[in-house]
Homo-oligomer: A and B are copies of this chain.
Amino acid sequence: MEYRKIKGEAEDRDAVVEDVENLRGKPLSISDNLATIGESRIDRAKWKRKSVVTLALTVLTSSQAILIVWSKRAGKYEYSVTTANFLVETLKCAISLIVLGKIWRTEGVTDDNRLTTTLDEVIVYPIPAALYLVKNLLQYYIFAYVDAPGYQILKNLNIISTGILYRIILKKRLSEIQWAAFILLCAGCTTAQLNTNSDRVLQTPFQGWVMAIVMALLSGFAGVYTEAIMKKRPSRNINVQNFWLYIFGMAFNAVAILIQDFDAVMNKGFFHGYSLITVLMILNHALSGIAVSMVMKYADNIVKVYSTSVAMLLTAVVSVFLFGFHLSLAFFLGTIVVSVAIYLHSAGKMQR
């Protein structure tokens, strides 16, 4: 549903672009003025689309976390996680193809929306999936050094690594105020997650820190690389880009099934232990995945980090009502810091 709504936005934008083309045909004396109006309309449409995809990502990420809490409360994972991941990738692929089919019917097949591609274009698509695979493998080893709540706290290093790699690889600049905001976002998120056992993370051995930093860099690199892929060909239809991204995701997850859960799948079946909540989680993950792609194409990694941070806070607030969770003073303080960070990020926009 969210996805179709966003799609509608994208169509709105095309309409605006056409309007501008029409305006350009007018006499020269007023064309400058009209072009400005046109540009501001494009800007507004772009801003609107950026806002909608960001909102969608926030809501989906937040409900994703709520589903995880819900499923944990309902009992242990009975299904094999690798099959679920494979289905998420398959579903994303299928959605991309369905939307693409509709576009072909209305617009015809063009250079920008054809599925066939060159080796030069496709060669980069497996890289993000490969990076995530390495990161997920490392995840098993880090628990030798850090406990699960400690790992949650160390994961906030992702925020900093994303910012640094965004600067280095995409060569995009943040103003000093925006850097300050980014540091605050990291500190605020960590503060919001503090609990009585958090101090244990300070006793993390050196190897644990190194692994946490390597994982943060891998995760940040995968995100930044995805953005680079999506933006390298701005006119290329996002559904084609998604298709190629997700087809490699499917392939990597198929390998993961073979390595980790081959016996379970053979003996108990592919869908063993699936419940309504498992289906909801797969659906949610697929939609969030598409929302992430859209944020990468129409916004950027910085927006993604802010969006998922807000989702984390939102999850906690919703959990108070759903599961009777208790909010700590640290949570309130972290929320204040994150809110100020969001304000500063927009207030600190560089003058271009």
Measuring CB to CB, which residues of chain A are less than 8 angstroms from any residue of chain B?
Answer: 153, 176-177, 180, 183-184, 187-188, 190-191, 194, 196, 198-199, 201-202, 328-330, 333-334, 336-337, 340, 343-344, 347-348
Contact = CB atoms under 8 A, between A and B. Distances in A.
A338 B252 CA distance: 44
B199 A333 contact: no
Contacts of A180: 340, 343-344, 347
22 contacts: A153-B329, A177-B177, A177-B347, A180-B340, A180-B347, A184-B184, A184-B340, A187-B333, A187-B337, A187-B340, A191-B333, A191-B337, A194-B329, A194-B330, A194-B333, A196-B196, A198-B330, A199-B328, A199-B329, A330-B330, A337-B337, A344-B344
Most buried by B among A198, A336, A348: A336
B329 A176 contact: no
Contact of A198 (B329, B334, B336): B329
Most buried by B among A176, A187, A201, A343: A187
A26 B344 CA distance: 47
Contact of A191 (B153, B176, B177, B330): B330
Contacts of A330: 191, 194, 198, 330
B196 A194 contact: no
A41 B180 CA distance: 31
A190 B176 CA distance: 25
B337 A176 contact: no
Most buried by B among A176, A180, A330, A336: A180
A241 B186 CA distance: 46
Nearest to A181: B340
Most buried by B among A184, A190, A196, A347: A184
Given A191-B191, A202-B328, 5 more contacts: A177-B348, A187-B336, A191-B330, A191-B337, A199-B328
Nearest to A182: B340
A254 B199 CA distance: 47
B191 A347 contact: no
A333 B202 CA distance: 12
A188 to B, nearest CB: 8
Contacts of A188: 337
Contacts of A194: 194, 329-330, 333
A180 B181 CA distance: 11
A88 to B, nearest CB: 34
Nearest to A344: B180
Given A194-B330, A199-B328, A330-B194, A347 B183 contact: no
A176 B347 contact: yes
Nearest to A180: B340
Contacts of A334: 191
Contacts of A187: 333, 336-337, 340
Contacts of A191: 191, 330, 333-334, 337
B329 A202 contact: yes
A191 to B, nearest CB: 5
B183 A340 contact: yes
Contacts of A328: 199, 202
Nearest to A336: B187
Nearest to A335: B187
